[in-house]
Chains A and B, each alone.
Chain A
Amino acid sequence: MKKWVGTALTTVLIISALTACGGNKNNTNAQQGANGNKAAAEANAELTVYTALEDDQIQTYLESYKAAHPNVKVNIVRDSTGVITAKLLAEKDNPVADVVWGTAATSLLVLDQNNMLEGYSPKGIENIQPEFKDKQEPAHWVGIDAWETAFAVNTAELKKKGLEIPKSYADLIKPEYKGLIVMPNPASSGTGFLTVNGLQQLMGDSDAWSYLDKLDQNIAVYTESGSKPAKMAGTGEYPIGISFGYRAIQEKKGGAPVEVVFPAEGSGWDVEANALMKKDNIKPEAKEFLDWAISEEPMKKYNENYAILAMKTDSSVIPEGYSKDPISQLVKLDLNKAAETRDATLAEWSKRYEAKSEKK
């Protein structure tokens, strides 16, 4: 008899331990149900936003959204462009994201080709310049700004080595820079992809690959993120980082001995854009978020970081560190074509250089 008391006790012990997880599970289920099914009252709405924007930008950008929508809980999933793209594609049948924010237009075009985006023209779309938004009506993607290739060059380290600051793509393949250059992997990094794509559309396909072959000789390592080359240049770990304008300028502002160089031939570029995910329950908050994302307040904030805004405006301030006319710095290119050839470009790239890429 006594044995069974012990039995019961132990059973209770184990059950309670095991269901410590289970109990909470029910909770979460309930929450998810509420969110998914009846596109909840704004009261406790939750919004999942996928983005490739920089970590140090997101919180500042979101301030005005949070002020206007204090009750919406925004879950930010941030990663490099390539990773976010892969994640979205992998979740194709069961999308988790409600909206995509500030992610390369070339990636959004790939999603669109996979029929994953819902058309929605946010309020104020008429203020966006035509080349920075989808031509369809309603638009499947809408841009907020553009970003472009820039080199972050550590002047202190180059001085020690007695080397000149490289000014152009042509300079980068000079033998004296061997092992000093870091570049992002285009499969994971949006900056990597726009740089490779920029070269392709600038030089033509075969010339671009033979240029990249020569550049590969000088590359120390391919990084996963587009920011890392600039940060590595900042610490002097590798003195030349192929990165993007904002990040290189940030390094310089932070006090690192970095010179920001926009390549003489012209910079590759891409648009950071937003889109609405196609799914069964599209929340009204998702659309509101997209309206907000191209409104005046955040645009001002984008402009603090990026010289090229998607919005039509005569008074767009050129941020510190940029050349006078950032638009003339850009290579002429066709984003649709870039999206179409994205898969082939990435396959070719990894066939040629994968061995040297940093993991991921």
Chain B
Amino acid sequence: MRLAKWHTAMLLKRGNGSWFERIAMLLMLAGLCVMILLPLFSLFSKAVTDKQGEYNGLENFIDYFSTPALLSSLQHTVYVSALTAILSVVLGFLFAFALTRTNVPGKMFFKTVSLLMLFAPTMMLGIGLTYLFGNQGLVTTGFFDALPFHWDIGLYGPTGIVMAEVMYTFPQACLILVVSLSFADFNLYEAAKTMGAGKGRIFFTITLPNMKYGLISSFFVCFTLAFTDFGAPQVVGGSYNVLATEIYKQVIGQQNMGMGATVGIILTLPAILAFIVDRFITSRQHAISARAVPYRISPSRKRDGFFLAFCIASSGMILLLIGTVFAASVIKIWPYNLSLSLKHYDFSKVAGGSLQPFWTSLRMSAWTAVIGTAVTFAGAYLIEKTKTLPVLRQAGYFLSILPLALPGIVLGLSYIFFFNKASNPMHGIYGTIWILVLANIAHFYSVAFVTATSALKKLDREIETASDSLGVPRYKTLLRVTLPLCLPAVLEMAMYFFINSMVTVSAVMFLYAADLKLASVSIVNMEDAGDIAPAAAMSTLIVMTNIGVRLLYEAVTHQIKKRTQAWQTREQ
């Protein structure tokens, strides 16, 4: 989600900021260093130490590349991620095309459904697939022998991982591609038509070239997400090992931190590459002619029919998966006793322990939303509204978007190494809820930062100038003008922090203390212990909560927009 949103936000970026503020800037830089840079240094130094903590140079890397079982995890991950990225981009393209270039009915519905997966932890996708295509799955058993056929797709292994990852990355690809498909100049299409170009030719010479950056970017986003995901392979990977599960095994199973750090660095490489490619692309994608005319959709029943079928099929798959997980969570003993029961929502007898992890998750996510939004907005305000000391500003900007390139697992590991050192003055937050909040803020910082930045950029610089000349203090302007005007963006940031903190596993799974188990982590634990139905129940709770928060957000924004933003007719 963060990469996709990041890309979207970058496409919409415009304008420039103004004033300077020395101490706050330095403080912000220091904060970002503690949150991001220093932990990363600990990770790098850990990668060059052995199990006993002695320096051993590149030994770990040599070890890694000479152990067949470890090396195979790299090959597996590359294969699975590439396949996922190709499938997701193709499917995402078709879906985005249907939404932007056809007259398919029910676009709002399809769009909403395609985004549902963003509210679910990735383990849930794996669990859903298990119930559909596992050895006792609905499809595998032909709806418990109700259908005349059985269909065993051999879920466990690369098939299952790719299926889950495609479902997970599909909305991301859609988000990016919808934006790039909507940047079109209809003049070009008309000209081509006048010159007698056929549909195929127009597609290959105008549509595709126009969105090539979007395609490349979505490919990298999907690749990176699949490359670093832990939840889905953990559930449906079977004996097919990938990098993320390999780190888990090294760190949790064998407590081999050095090797965990080593694999972590390998895990970061494609993300960094994606980051560079994305920066390069966004720096080029601004050129859209001011005289461009929006695309006008020509009527075509054949085309609409095809895309409607496609939209129904893909939305159907998403709804089926979520529905299956909901159903499995209230079925007594799948598949032998299909009567309904809420017993799987009693977590006291399984690895979850109780409903406590869910409450802890709520608490953590709420704190992350509140503190994260405040910190990120302040950071964006400083960088956006200052103009002297460009070096510091640039550094601050770079640090603010750096977390985009950091997989959650890597961030989580870095935090153990950095904060668990007794010599660290902030050692005290280790084992408390605050380290989880901090890790989440760092993990999701960049997208929220860009949201805040683009909201601030939309405001006229004259506001500050005007208040200065009227003798109104800056803080009053901030509180009375800037903040209220940015309220929709602030709410969006808070929602983004909240939802992602609810579903994330990767950054927090190494950091939570015994009495602070989280809902998402408890899903992993329950799945590990074979308690699949309670894991489905916990997933259901998380999805429901997130949908609730999203609806609340929509309602509140709707109210605010109606009341305060009437003057701002320009589309965001």
On A, residues with C-beta under 8 Å from B are: 2-3, 5-11, 13-15, 17-18, 20-22, 24-26, 28-29, 32, 48, 55-56, 59, 75-80, 82-83, 86-87, 89-90, 94, 156, 187-188, 221-225, 227-232, 234-238, 254-257, 350, 354-360
Contact = CB atoms under 8 A, between A and B. Distances in A.
A9 B248 contact: no
A2 B334 CA distance: 68
Contacts of B529: 55, 225, 227-228, 231
Nearest to B35: A18
Nearest to B434: A21
Contact of B239 (A24, A59, A80, A355): A355
A25 B428 contact: yes
A10 B19 contact: no
Contact of A360 (B350, B352, B528): B528
B28 to A, nearest CB: 6
Given A21-B435, A55-B353, 11 more contacts: A2-B474, A6-B478, A14-B31, A14-B379, A17-B371, A25-B428, A56-B349, A56-B350, A355-B239, A359-B242, A360-B253
12 contacts: A7-B474, A10-B24, A20-B371, A21-B434, A25-B428, A48-B514, A56-B349, A86-B254, A187-B254, A236-B135, A236-B336, A359-B242
Contact of B241 (A231, A350, A359): A359
B554 interface: no
Nearest to B381: A10
Interface string B370-382: 0100110011011
Contact of A237 (B135, B337, B381): B135
Contacts of B350: 55-56
Interface stretch (B206-214, B230-238, B296-304, B449-457): B230-238
Interface string B237-256: 11101100110110011110
A13 B334 CA distance: 53
Contacts of A80: 528
Nearest to A185: B253
A257 B334 CA distance: 11
A359 B249 contact: yes
Nearest to B51: A90
Given A6-B473, A9-B478, A59-B348, A26 B428 contact: yes
A103 B5 CA distance: 47
B333 A255 contact: yes
B136 interface: yes
A62 to B, nearest CB: 12
A86 B474 CA distance: 56
Nearest to A254: B333
Q: Which 8 A-B pairs have the closest CB atoms?
A: A6-B474, A231-B530, A359-B245, A90-B255, A228-B530, A25-B428, A9-B475, A56-B349
Which size bracket describes the interface of B in this complex?
35 or more
A29 B428 contact: yes
B487 interface: no
B471 interface: yes
A360 B248 contact: yes
B35 to A, nearest CB: 9
Contacts of B375: 14, 17-18
Given A6-B21, A14-B27, A359 B432 contact: no
B555 interface: no
Given A56-B350, A237-B136, A360-B248, A3 B19 contact: yes
B285 interface: no
B63 interface: no
A2 B471 contact: yes
B342 interface: no
B234 A87 contact: no
B23 interface: yes
A291 B351 CA distance: 26
Interface of B: 19, 21-24, 27-28, 31, 69, 72, 130, 134-136, 156, 233-234, 237-239, 241-242, 245-246, 248-249, 252-255, 257, 332-337, 348-353, 371, 374-375, 378-379, 381-382, 422, 426, 428-429, 431-432, 434-435, 437-438, 468, 471-475, 477-478, 513-515, 528-532
A235 B136 contact: yes
Given A77-B514, A356-B239, A5 B27 contact: no
B134 A359 contact: no
Interface of A is mostly: helix
Nearest to A222: B239
A355 B75 CA distance: 13
Nearest to B432: A28
Contacts of B245: 359-360
B21 A354 contact: no
A359 B246 contact: yes
A18 B353 contact: no
Nearest to B130: A237
A90 B420 CA distance: 13
Nearest to B373: A17
Contacts of A78: 351
A59 B248 CA distance: 27
A20 B528 CA distance: 35
Contact of B332 (A24, A255, A356): A255
A82 B332 contact: no
Nearest to A88: B255
Contacts of A83: 252-253
Given A6-B474, A25-B434, A224-B253, A358 B239 contact: yes
A76 B253 contact: no
A151 B528 CA distance: 19
A18 B21 contact: no
B151 to A, nearest CB: 16
A358 to B, nearest CB: 6
A187 B336 contact: no
Given A17-B374, A24-B434, A87 B255 contact: yes
A24 B428 CA distance: 8
B236 to A, nearest CB: 11
Candidate in A187, A237, A254 with the most chain B CB atoms within 10 angstroms: A237
Nearest to A33: B428
A224 B432 contact: no
A108 B280 CA distance: 56
B254 A5 contact: no
A56 B27 CA distance: 48
B255 A225 contact: no
A14 B437 contact: no
A221 to B, nearest CB: 5
A77 B517 CA distance: 10
